[in-house]
Amino acid sequence: MKLKKLIIPVLLSLLILALASPSVHAYSGVYYVTPNTFPLRECAAYECGQLLTAYQGDRVEILERTSTGWSRVRFMDRSGIGWIPSDLLSYSPDLRSRTGPPYYVNISSLPLRDAPTPDSRILTTLHFNEPVEMLGVGASGWAQIRELRGSMVGWVPPRYLSSDPPRYPKSSPRRKAPRKAAPKEEPTEPPKAM
């Protein structure tokens, strides 16, 4: 009984201390921007306004992260704060040191986009069996890759990449034609009584 009376105040004291102490900054350290260029945004979404441009190798500190895969960062070598997708940041300053086995484009042509959406700007077009470096897959489900000819970083749907060189290109996705509306029938007037 005495033990029970002693444990409760101790646990309450620990809880009060935990709540009163400042939260530990879990993102300490230096991070590096991986794409050639990327606009920092006003908020954590691609639709938000652009503030300034981050360049490959820029050193940043993460101030905040969202559950949707965005980080609020502050430049360490110049002034500026904004939002960038977390998967565009790396611990390694040597971006070429993290290369893995190449992936290969498995369709005739594949647009490399500047954001992981089908309506974003096309940076370049990749061709069948072109090797690329996989940097990761974002929260959107799109793959961030680096094309090996010019080291341009962009986004593609991962289903168009294969781990081995394919023999034949996959057929490109076909868009369904919009359905034509059925012609409207003209209302017929009932016959007039004589």
At 26-56, the pLDDT tens digits run 455 688 888 777 889 999 988 898 888 888 8
> Is 45 contained in some domain?
yes
pLDDT band at 57 (very low <50, low <70, confident <90, very high): confident
89 lies in the same domain as 133 = no
> Is 2 contained in some domain?
no
> Is 172 contained in some domain?
no
First to last CA, the chain: 105
At which of 45, 69, 93 does a domain end? Answer: 93
- Residue-range definition of the domain harbouring residue 62: 31-93
**Number of separate domains in the chain:** 2
111 lies in the same domain as 143 = yes
What is the CATH classification number for the domain harbouring 68? 2.30.30.40
Each residue of 63-89: pLDDT tens digit?
988 888 888 999 988 888 999 988 788
Burial 142-157 (b: 16+ CB within 10 A, else e): bbbbbbeeeebbbbbb
pTM: 0.43
d(CA 27, CA 37): 22
pLDDT value, residue 97 = 46
* Angle at the Cα of 102 from the Cα atoms of 101 and 104, rounded to 5 degrees: 145
pLDDT band at 18 (very low <50, low <70, confident <90, very high): low
Give, for 126, the enclosing helix (H) or strand (E): strand 122-127
